Structure 1
Amino acid sequence: MSTSFAPRDDDFHFAEMGDRWWMTETSWFSFCNPEHKLGGWLYTMARPNIGTVAGGAWVWDDTAHLPWEILYNANYTALRLPRDQDLSDIRLPTGVAIRAVERTRVYDLGFEDEPHCRMALRFEGLMEPRPLRKAGSPFGGASHFDQFGRVTGEVRLGDRVVPIDCLAMRDRSWGPRPEHRPKKSAYVTGIASPRDAFLAVTRHEGEREVIAYGFLIRDGEAADLVSGTREVERDPATGWVTRISITGEDALGRRLEAEGTRLSGLIINRHSFIDSNGLIAWSINGHEGHGEDQDMWPIHDWAAMRRAARGRTA
């Protein structure tokens, strides 16, 4: 597991990942237009040892949450991974394009699927990429980095043009990622300004949901979260999170108090688990912002929860 992110880490890490077929490298960028309750992702998942790349793009608002009904959905499973390009300057068969303008900080992003969707975006980091440094997280032994940034540009959906000027998260990972890996967890982000933001990744301990790792940026200073919990309210008809509360404390003894309300969302079926992802309006220690709540469940656990809510056990 890497604990520092260097300029060369914008490239693929294929030579470091051994020969197991499930060794995986990912690149994820999020963006949003909260005024339109619109959220979006560009996601890439490469498996070099079997020569495939998966992922694509999603754009949604509050008019639909199912992937086949949202504004745009392209989620490929196994396209051929290009071998003549590196991740720092690449155009993938999924439609995603990434170019590192200033390594570790500034990236030009594109997506093309004419006539349905076209994106031209720029991500500019507002902090240094922050490595996962705590054992016991849902990411296991993989190298993993998170970075808040400003995303600007536009998304074209047919004839509709949506301007993007937001604060959002990206992450990168490389290492082992078998398909049966996920347990019930959440990946929660919130940012009000470059000086006030948080990331909380949770795990379940019985009925309690505790923060496994994350960080708090308060008054411009970042420190790891050392404790905390996530509590949610769910829509009884759908099961998705409607309200969320994150409380915690960081290594400097500072408190995190965040209250969130869902603006919109979508459900993504990702091999053996689902991600019920919400675009969230936050109050973060009294500062208004936005972010996401990725509510991740093994499929059988989600099915059991929903059947119980309907009064059925099988």
Structure 2
Amino acid sequence: MVRAAPSGATAAATQITADTPFGPEDDQFHRSPDDNPYWAETTWWSFNIPERKIGGWLHGQFNTNRDTVTWRVYVWDPRGAEQSDLRYFRMATDVPVTDPAPDLRDITIPGGGFSVKMIRPLRDYEIEFEDSADAAGWAPLNHGWLLQDGRFELLDKSASRMKNYRDPLTGWSSHMQVDLVDVRGRTLGAEGIAASHICERGGGSTALMRWDLGSEIGWGEDQDIWHPKHFARMRDALQAVR
């Protein structure tokens, strides 16, 4: 969990006058001047841990004319600046905002995003984020479809998850569990066993998977492709644990 709140200010500094450039209403969403689909409003927060040389950002971009939000959370330190080298990175793009009247002063960004709660206008806020989908080895499923009873539907990425068991020698997937929920609420739980692999450029593999679907058996692929440098770090970590 990340919890952050800007430090307080003196009472005099919080007084709002005619010359103050911002007012309490600016803690809320602003009306778009037109119907431009690219009109965006952001909520952005940063934190740091100086003794560990760690910096962090929580950033949400609301395209209010499209009723969507793209959010990202990342943490970095001296070991690298590229996305594959960050201590932590998670991002969700164009998540539907279904609340008919979202309030930026008290909001939890949909799709597993962070929350913002105003404590004192223009001064104090509480920001929280918890990545519960990586807890106990589970990870989010950000994209996919469910074919059931002859019908394809897009997965609900806020409710679908997977757990991947890896071979510590190769780093490749050996066994997977998935809990799937589509946008219509249909569910499917399945287990997959890797039967064979192909690896290109040292960055993960594509595996032929045998899936146990309860009363049926299915075959398909797990395309587990990584940046080679990131994959090497993950494999080194697996071997160190072993």
| TM bucket, shorter chain | 0.3 to 0.5
Larger RCO (CA within 8 A; separation ≥ 6)? 1
Structure with max Cα Rg: 2
TM-score norm. by structure 1 comes to: 0.34
Q: TM-score scaled by structure 2?
A: 0.44
Higher helix share: 2
Larger proportion of strand: 1
